[in-house]
């Protein structure tokens, strides 16, 4: 378990984020984590920047499995949801010029890049919190606010959606030297703008289903069934007693 002095801490099975500064809890928020087939990884990183009005560069797996079938069925889905189809030269492609029948299974890689423009309906919402990760994992906002009311919030494709993303962004942008007025001006502009984070903000995504606090035992559901995979050990309690 990490040291809760400074940084962003997400306990995956509790669906909670904690932001600590100088040992003080500054913010606590509900989160949505990866579903069982696309688990949020246990990892450590460091916050690098906050993007206001972020576009969404769709990962290959989500593109092929989730979005291409919808676009194949109805090419108007592209424009209605703010997506752009980009070829290898960086040019936009008209969805009605694509032979969608070719891509009739998720196993067939769609050769174009998909990007969703920034906006209120963007999958990333209004904020993206970047951190180096080999799995391209990050924290972000979401337009689907109602999902935070669910008890089971293992619903994403791996990244962590933050309910209080505006509050988190406000704190971090203030540390980066932004005023509230500057934040509002950038939001209103709808233009993607990145703010470098210089303060020490490690990010811990960890997985704890049982712990003791003030003499009381707390437990959580083992949503990814990691606990059941722990190796079975046999303890010779008589030997332990003799040592004690």
Q: Which two tokens stand for residue 173?
A: 């942008």
At 66, is the secondary structure helix, strand, or coil? helix
Q: Is 159 an active-site residue?
A: yes
Q: What does the DSSP assignment read for 179-197?
A: -HHHHHHHHHHT--EEEE-
Alpha helices in the chain (DSSP H): 60-62, 68-73, 76-80, 165-175, 180-189, 237-243
Q: Indicate which residue of 39, 140, 164, 183 is catalytic.
A: 140
Burial tier of 30 (Cβ tally within 10 Å: 0-12, 13-18, 19+): middle
Out of 31, 47, 118, 159, the active site residue is 159
CB of 64 within 8 A of CB of 106?
yes
- Catalytic site includes residue 140: yes
Q: Which residues contact 1 (CB under 8 A, 6 or more apart)?
A: 206, 208, 211
Residues, the chain: 244
Q: Give the residue numbers marked as catalytic.
A: 140, 159
């Amino acid at each position: 378990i990490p040291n809760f002095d400074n940084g962003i801490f997400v306990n995956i099975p509790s669906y909670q984020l904690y932001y600590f500064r100088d040992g003080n809890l500054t913010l606590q928020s509900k989160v949505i984590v990866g579903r069982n087939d696309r688990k949020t990884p246990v990892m450590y990183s460091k916050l690098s920047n906050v993007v206001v009005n972020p576009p969404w560069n769709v990962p290959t797996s989500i593109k092929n499995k989730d979005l291409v079938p919808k676009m194949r069925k109805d090419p108007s889905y592209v424009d209605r949801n703010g997506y752009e189809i980009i070829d290898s030269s960086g040019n936009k492609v008209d969805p009605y010029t694509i032979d969608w029948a070719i891509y009739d299974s998720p196993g067939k890689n769609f050769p174009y890049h998909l990007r969703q423009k920034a906006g209120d309906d963007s999958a990333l919402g209004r904020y993206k919190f970047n951190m180096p990760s080999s799995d391209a994992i990050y924290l972000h906002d979401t337009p689907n606010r109602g999902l935070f009311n669910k008890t089971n919030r293992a619903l994403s494709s791996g990244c962590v959606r933050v309910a209080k993303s505006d509050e988190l962004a406000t704190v971090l942008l203030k540390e980066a030297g932004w005023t509230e007025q500057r934040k509002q001006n950038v939001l209103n502009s709808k233009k993607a703008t990145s703010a470098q984070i210089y303060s020490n903000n490690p990010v811990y995504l960890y997985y704890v289903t049982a712990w003791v606090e003030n003499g009381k035992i707390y437990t959580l559901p083992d949503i990814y069934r990691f606990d059941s995979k722990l190796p079975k050990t046999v303890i010779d309690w008589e030997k332990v007693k003799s040592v004690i």
